[in-house]
Amino acid sequence: MHDDRHLVEGRLERAMRQFVRPAQYAARTPLALSVWHAPGEPVPVAEALAGSYEPFETGTAWGKPWSTSWFRLTGQVPREWAGRHVEVVVDPGFSGDGPGFQAEGLLHDADGVPLKGIHPRNRHLTVAAPAAGGEPVHLLLEAAANPAVLRDFAPTPLGDVLTAGDRPVYRFRSADLAVLDQDVWHLVLDAEVLSELMHELDAERAARHDILRALERMLDALDLHDVAGTAAAARAELAEVLARPAPASAHWISAAGHAHIDSAWLWPLRETVRKASRTFANVTALARDYPELVFACSQAQQYAWVKEHQPHIWDRIKKAVADGTWAPVGSMWVESDANMPGGEALARQLVHGKRFFRDELGVETEEIWLPDSFGYTAAFPQLAKLAGARWFLTQKLSWNQTNKMPHHTFWWEGIDGTRVFTHFPPVDTYNAQFHGSELAHAERNFAEKGGASRSLVPFGWGDGGGGPTREMLEKARRLRSLEGSPRVEIEKPSAFFQAAYEEYGAKAPVWSGELYLEMHRATYTTQAKTKQGNRRSEHALREAELWCTAAALHDPSYAYPYDALDRLWKTVLLHQFHDILPGSSIAWVHREARDTYARVLAELDKITGEAVGRLGAGEAVALNASPYPRSEVVAHEGRLTRVSVEGLGARSLAEAAEEVRGPGAHAAATREADAIVLANEHLAVTVDSDGLLSSVRDLVHGGREVLAPGARGNLLQLHPDHPTQYDAWDLDAHYRRTRTDLTDAESVELVEDGPLRVAVRVTRAFGSSRVTQEYRLAAGSRRLDVVTDIDWQESEKVLKAAFPLDVHAQQSAAEIQFGHVHRPTHANTGWDAARYEICAHRWLRVAEETYGVALLNDSTYGHDVTRTPHAEGLGTTVRLTLLRAPHSPDPETDLGTHRFTYALAPGATTGDAVAGGLALNLPLRIAAAGTVAPLLAVDDPAVTIESVKLAEDRSGDVVVRLYESRGGRATATLTASFPVAGADETDLLERPLRPAETSEAGLALSLRPFQILTLRLRPV
């Protein structure tokens, strides 16, 4: 037979494009339009119903960026349409930017009840099916003029309402009543499913040719000038091939409806409230027509928004959950970043998420659902288990630039040894549409063939929301069992996970350690003030809960601020969403985030101040919210005082001042040639005439020089920063090839000369920027602080601070949530080389067998570590990534003033790094209060107390979360300064697991490496 495939395929493509698809709507008649342009921010529907509407014509421009217009749509179904399927079809000016990235709308009935969202791939609302004829139509459309921001990553002012301008961005095209021709519509779907499948089958397979000839017969049966009249006959030619079942060996796809809705990204938070409402209205409407639909939906925050703002939609969600067409998933408050949130914050993501789903919907979620976060901390498996989650899902690893993940279904092992059953869908998208190419890719790509037979496909429009469509559900029906295609079964994710576990759980491979995304490495740094706000808010919440608990135990009349703390935690958790905390949102989002963090910190300061005031009569004390004892120099009333204070306790400044009048530690400064030497009993630090560290000697370890021979420390280095594509997200490897060392100093001056603290101030100017840094060394301290103020005015640059160390380190240790991870300092393999930028929390340490150096920070996450040969051997250079200046999606990212501190800690053990990181991030609080005995104490310093709070059930029980922080086993005793009647070990949600072992000495603890333990103490 002659090969005429391309001719038939070309004939099919033109017929579908030019004749068949346009014939889906058999008749149209326009609706009458009127409009009310809402002033300012979005308004509730009740206000819109009372608006003053003016006549509006199609073809008219509308909508300045980020504005809202309300349109009334009125008309009547023509009587001659009786018996037909009649819909309203709306096009407010959709562009080619896809659902969620342009104009969007929510249709309401005449009384303001929300009916259904509209977007470019879902423009219809069924009016009558079948119609009687003569039905009146009265609808209200809330239309959002959201601009398309991400165009080729070019700088744009559209990312903030303050800079976007007033020029209308859309032109209203049409609002019609239309008759949907069901035969033609189904013919389109039949042909699409078969054509897409055909193109995925090898030319040698008979099934491909069978489909081709069936499509050819379909075209022969179709009169292109009477598509409606011949569609049924054309469909009949396809029936036989559509009825051919898939073989038993076909790959099994569990499909779950999905609508990834970024809680903020190229739109502000307030717009996500409406995106969720539109999408959830779509899904609940769709389920009425397709009862087989299961919609998997995460992010408790978005449910809470809909509950507050759209009670009608909320009631429909609750019914859908009860009916089984809606599956709450994910167990978290938002789909957060999974690298930078602190340990307690990540625990609270799970606590607040699971509690919401349980209390509001009666569902105990069992999975972590993070398809789009930018890499995953190795602390997650243990946290998942402690929250009662059994499964973990991600998709983003398919974006890896260098190495392909070897597994799709596997056990993921965390730093403590806990494993969680994990799936990474081989379809490589969380926005699938049931296109033949997607399903074929899922089957070809699946790494576990021969051992497992099923994978998960989340389907529906997403990122900006939208969700599944009726076309997707129709395709799924045709694909349920079709020769040549994987089988498709719509079901809950939990059903997939359970089946996959039963089939493959005993054989599945293990991936140990972090799931590092080989992309988006700049998200550890971009939008520094957002990251700083998060870090400081996390620690302020920790401090507030601690002292509020102390106040409640000390003063029975004190009212623990449960509601305020709950609200503040949820605010911070929301801003950990994976496009807010990583810095990849528009300017509007980060502007609001900065303001929000300022309010959070101010309120927490007030809450803490009120609690501290209940701890006793008012002499000046230093309160230590860290669990470790500290001896530090603090400023009070214009004077420096050295104070020693136990962990989780308070110490009188007057008592401390008396203590240091005798012999004790001091700090001194001397001049040597062109340098200034800062010294105390632990360190001698030389600052040269360029304001760089030319020597750092560890006096405790025999005067060991910390810096590599011939190198200088705290060298600021400026690199050009031009990612290939994703500006805010990526730090591409080529940036390292060019750099400028900032060695010129405008001034180097001694500004404090002891005896309690010495300091040298260095000022530099470069480009359009200026930086002032103070090296501070306090009496008795084993760390050198670098307090940095910078006016950052660079464009597409990245600023690093380098410390070339004379330490031969095979690996670095970086703090993560509830522990730390080790990463090689070499680049032996592609996996090692790809980790050229890494995330660390409060500290990063490099070490030889018996000696280590740590870098501490108060708000920096991005780091790099490299092996650096020098004249006498091999050293290690550690760099902190301080600031960036990308132009998209925020054209003025990070421009302005910043203040942050980092510190060098020579001779630091892992325990020193843990305690030092806490000390830098939890400054001693000076307040008027009584001296407070440590609320709790642990006699093994390897056990770190993470949080102290009152139980959420308001019973008065004290909840303590602690963990083994050094990577070894620990046996310890926990003691309390208040009488304890009994104690339980609990899960993260404070639900008892087993009684804790108690004795007169306290609670006996035995912890594995990096084990997290939550205890619930019942005060007498």
Task: List the catalytic residues.
Answer: 372
Q: How far apart are CA 79 and CA 199, in angstroms?
A: 44
| Phi, psi angles (nearest 5°) of residue 571 | -65, -45
Q: How far apart are CA 440 and CA 409, in angstroms?
A: 18
- Measured at the alpha carbon of residue 985, what is the angle toward residues 982 and 988, in degrees to the nearest 5? 130
Closest CA to 931 of 612, 542, 633, 635: 612
Sequential DSSP letters for 337-403:
-SSSS-HHHHHHHHHHHHHHHHHHH-----EEE-SS-S-B-TTHHHHHHHTT--EEE--GGGG-SS-
Q: How far apart are CA 240 and CA 223, in angstroms?
A: 21
Sequential DSSP letters for 40-106:
SS---HHHHHTS--EEE-TT-EE--TT-EEEEEEEEE--GGGTTSEEEEEEES---SS-TTSS-EEE
Helix runs in 909-1007, H state only: 910-921
Nearby residues of 731 by Cβ (< 8 Å), 6 or more positions away: 521, 522, 525, 721, 723, 798, 837, 862, 881, 884
Closest CA to 228 of 180, 274, 265, 192: 180
Q: How far apart are CA 236 and CA 238, in angstroms?
A: 5
Measured CA distances, 717 to 148, 714, 803, 912 (Å): 36, 9, 11, 28
Do 656 and 642 form a contact (C-beta atoms < 8 A)?
Answer: yes
Q: State yes or no: cis peptide before 39, omega within 30 of 0.
A: no
Do 974 and 1005 form a contact (C-beta atoms < 8 A)?
Answer: yes
Asked whether the CA dihedral 210, 211, 216, 217 is positive or negative, the reply is positive
Q: Are strands 797-805 and 925-929 parallel, antiparallel or unpaired?
A: unpaired
Q: Which two tokens stand for residue 752?
A: 């404090």
Measured CA distances, 264 to 146, 354, 471, 555, 578 (Å): 13, 21, 28, 42, 9
The edge-to-edge listing of strands for the beta sheet with 970-976 is 936-938, 970-976, 1002-1007, 998-999
Q: Are strands 409-413 and 510-512 parallel, antiparallel or unpaired?
A: parallel
Helix runs in 649-799, H state only: 653-659
The edge-to-edge listing of strands for the beta sheet with 391-393 is 367-369, 391-393, 419-423, 409-413, 510-512
Give a three-class secondary structure readout of 259-297: CCECCCCCCCHHHHHHHHHHHHHHHHHHHHHCCCCCEEE
Measured CA distances, 650 to 615, 752, 932, 961 (Å): 10, 27, 5, 21
Burial of 6 (0-12, 13-18, 19+ CB in 10 A): exposed
Q: How far apart are CA 883 and CA 792, in angstroms?
A: 8
Q: Which two tokens stand for residue 537?
A: 């808010």
- Residue 448 in 3-state DSSP? coil
Q: How far apart are CA 1018 and CA 542, in angstroms?
A: 20
- Residue 25 in 3-state DSSP? strand
Neighbouring C-beta atoms of residue 851, cutoff 10 Å:
18
Do 246 and 44 form a contact (C-beta atoms < 8 A)?
Answer: no
Do 789 and 897 form a contact (C-beta atoms < 8 A)?
Answer: yes
Neighbouring C-beta atoms of residue 996, cutoff 10 Å:
20
- Residue 596 in 3-state DSSP? helix
